[in-house]
Amino acid sequence: MREADDELQEIKREIIESRGLVIKTNNLTNALSADIKSIAKRQQAYERRLGWNSATAYAVFVVVVFAAFKFLVDARVDAIEATSKHLRDDTARLKQSLDEARQREAERQAAELEAAKFYDLAKQGKRSDLIKGWESMRAKPLTKAEGLFLVDAVERAKNEQAELLYLQGLESVRLQRWQEAATAFEESLRYEDSGPVAPQAKLQLGSAYRKLHKQKDAIAVLGPLADSTVDKDVLDDALEQLAWCQTEIEAFNDAKNTWRVLLRKFPDSHYAPEAKAALQTLTLTH
């Protein structure tokens, strides 16, 4: 009976231990389940972060690649635009040069025609038209040879016209038409004031002014002529006329100086007796 009780106690003890073991096992199982769930959640979170990181890395890679590609494309576009602009500039410059060359050629051809017409005026002896047209003609794109030839033709026409007007003035002087003479001499000097007949024309113009009682105008012409040494043949005449003009406007000191210059420079002049007498009179009276 005692053995049965011991055996029953042993069975109860084993049952209690088994029950405790089951409880522990259940607790361990629950804890393990909780750990597994936690690990699963962490794994899911890690996988989500990994997915986001991968997506972000991919997006960054795509953006970087796109930016690099855009940079290369922009650089290429800029290079093409620069080349295109350079080509357009070259084209515009060449077109402008071509247009200018065409214009110069057209102007050159027109100038050749003008030069031919101008030369015809010289051959026909139309001196006035030749001289008047020279100012516009000289601005044309002439060759050096054409320019020199036409300059010679114009200068020759000026000299001939000045000489013709000088002769007309002398004819008016012979007829004592002093205003016509003065006008002719003025025109002659306008055509050529340093040519062969210019000194004589100035002398005759001063004389004509004196006859017209324009002594001041005569002095303005004769004074520079008397001071020059261009043509010694007219100097004594110029000095004689100048002295009388100065006397007539009562510039007596100037007149005395002019007579003295005449006597000093031309002691053998046929005006010398007249100069001595006039100087003596002026010295006594003034």
Q: Could you tell me if residue 136 is inside a domain? A: no
Same domain, 118 and 16: yes
pLDDT score at 2: 60
pLDDT above 80 (res 114): no
Which CATH number covers residue 160? 1.25.40.10
Percent of the chain with pLDDT over 70: 79
Task: Say if residue 16 is in the same domain as residue 111.
Answer: yes
Q: What is the pLDDT of residues 119-163, one digit of tens each?
A: 555 555 555 655 665 555 555 555 666 656 566 666 777 777 778
Residue 216: inside a domain? yes
Per-residue pLDDT at 110: 60
More confident residue, 192 or 180: 180
Alpha-carbon distance 187 to 201, whole Å? Answer: 10
The range of the structural domain enclosing residue 98 comes to 1-124
pLDDT of residue 183: 93
Please indicate whether residue 229 or residue 55 has the higher confidence score (pLDDT): 55
What is the distance between the alpha carbons of residues 232 and 88, in angstroms, rounded to a whole number? 70
**Using CA atoms, how far apart are residues 200 and 270, in angstroms rounded to an integer?**
18
Confidence of residue 101 (pLDDT cuts 50, 70, 90): confident
Res 128: pLDDT:
61
Q: Which two tokens stand for residue 163?
A: 């000489």
pLDDT attached to residue 172: 92
pLDDT of residue 127: 58
Residue 78 to residues 70, 71, 75, 85, 90, Cα–Cα distance (Å) = 12, 10, 5, 10, 18
211: confidence class by pLDDT, cuts 50, 70, 90:
very high
pLDDT single digits (tens) 214-267: 999 999 999 888 777 556 678 888 899 999 999 999 999 998 999 999 889 888
d(CA 279, CA 286): 10
> Given this model, what pLDDT does residue 228 score?
72
254 and 190 belong to one structural domain = yes
How many domains does the chain divide into?
2
